[in-house]
Amino acid sequence: MSLIMGMNSGSSFDGIDVVLAETEIAEDGFPKPPKFLAGKSFPWPKQVEKIILDAFDNKVDMKDLTRLTYIAGAVFAESANQFMDDYNIDPKNIEVLGVDGQTIYQEPPAHDKISQLTATQKNDYVSRWLNGPYPAGYQIGDTSVIAGLTNITTVTNFRQGDHVWGGSAAPLMQYLDFILFRDRKNPTLTLNIGGIANAHLAHKDRRKMVACDTGPGNILSDNGAKHLLNQPWDIDGAVAAKGTVDDKMMADLKNHPYFQRAIPRSLWPRNDFSMKYCEELFARHPTTTTEDIMATLCAFTAEAVAISLSDNVPKEALDEVDYMYASGGGMKNKQIIRYIQEKLPSNITLLPSSEIGIPPEFKEALKFSTLAFSTINQIANNIPAASHSSQYTILGKVSYAPWKAHGVEPM
C-alpha cells in the first residue's frame, strides 16, 4: 500500500483541508478505492487571505499576483508540514501529495462552439484561447515551492490537461467517483456542496459517466448570512429553518442567466453568484424577511440540483440509481440537505459520504490525493464523457521531492 496526501482549498475559500490515505494499483490497472486515514483543516493566514480576496476581485497587479503563487505554495506547504507533525508522519513515507492550488479565475468552455469547429480550426492551437472557445483557469500555489518545502513529490494544476482537449475539468470529482464505485452494478450519484455544488453520475463504464456544476452550493446562504446576519454562515441552517420559501424571490433566482447556458453548464461563483448579485437580489425584494430569504436561498440550491440532474442525466440512468452520496461543507446546512432530499426522485436516498468511510468535509482533498497517485503512475485520470473533452490524458504537473534527486554532492 502507498501512503498518499491530498489538499484542497475550494471556491468557498474557508480553509485548507489536508488528508492522509492509502491505496495501491488494483488488478484492473486503476487505483483501489483509497482508504481515508486522517484529515485536518487549517486556516489561511489573515494577511494572505486579504490578498487572495483582492485577487478574486481583480484588484492585484502583476507583481503581487506573481508573488502570490509562491506565497500560496508556502501556505500549502506549511499546512502539510503541520499536518505531518500532528500525525508523526515522515515525508519520505508519502508517495505523493496532490493539491490543485487555489483557483483565482475560471472560464468555462463554450462546448457548443467547440463542437462546430472544423479540423483546421482545431489545429490552429493559438486561436483556441486567443478569443477562442476553449476553457482557461488560473490556480495559485507553485508546485516546486510545495514539493521543495514539504520534501514530498507534488502534483498540482490538474485542470489544464483537460482544458487542452476542450474539457471543462470542472468538476474533477468524477475520477474519484469512478475509482470508488466502478465495481457497483448500478450507477451511483454523488453531490459535492462547496461554494459551488456539482453532481456526478458514477458508472462502471466511464463512457456513461456524467458530471456538471448544478449551481450555487454554500455561496448564496453564506452571502446571505454575511449580509443579513453579520456572521460567516447560517449555522446548521437554523435561521433558514424558521422561514418559508418566497415564491417571487425563487422565480427571480431561477431567472439567473446561468440557466440559459448550454449544458453542461459551468460557473464561477465570484462572478455568477457574488455578494453584489445577492445585494441586488435582496434589494428587489425589500419586504421579504431575513428568515424567508435564508430559506429561499437554501431551497434554490436544491432546486438548481434538481434542474441540473434533469437536464444532464438520462432518465433511464436516474431510474437505476439507489443512492446519492453527498459531501462538502454544505452537508452542515440541514436545510439545504432537507430541500435536496425533497427534490430528488423517490427512488434515490441521499446519504452522507461518511456512509462509505469518507468524512464529507474531506472528500475533495481525498480527490486530489487520488488524482495525484494516478498521475505519477501514468494512468489516465480525466473522464472525457463527463468533462466533454476529446481525449483521455494524464492530468497534473509534477515536481519531485528534493530527497529523490540523483547526482547530488554535499553542499
Q: Do domains 2-168+363-404 and 196-201+207-356 have the same CATH topology?
A: yes
Is CATH 3.40.109.10 correct for 2-168+363-404?
A: no
Question: What per-residue confidence (pLDDT) applies to 397?
Answer: 98
Question: What per-residue confidence (pLDDT) applies to 242?
Answer: 98
Q: Listing from the earlier edge strand, what are the strands of the sheet with 35-42?
A: 35-42, 16-23, 2-8, 94-99, 154-156, 397-399
Q: Which residues of the chain have pLDDT under 50?
A: none
Is CATH 3.40.630.30 correct for 196-201+207-356?
A: no
Between the alpha carbon of residue 63 and those of residues 60, 76, 140, 156, 195, the distances in Å are: 8, 20, 14, 22, 28
Confidence (pTM) = 0.94
**Per-domain residue ranges of the chain:** 2-168+363-404, 196-201+207-356
The answer to whether 12 and 29 are in contact (CB under 8 A) is: no
Distance CA 206, CA 382 (A): 10
The answer to whether 325 and 353 are in contact (CB under 8 A) is: yes
Question: What per-residue confidence (pLDDT) applies to 391?
Answer: 96
Number of CB atoms found within 10 A of residue 296's CB: 27
Distance CA 352, CA 374 (A): 25
213 phi/psi in degrees, rounded to 5? -70, 135
Question: What per-residue confidence (pLDDT) applies to 317?
Answer: 95
The answer to whether 254 and 311 are in contact (CB under 8 A) is: no
Q: How many residues does the chain have?
A: 411
Helices and strands per DSSP (H, E), number in the chain: 18, 13
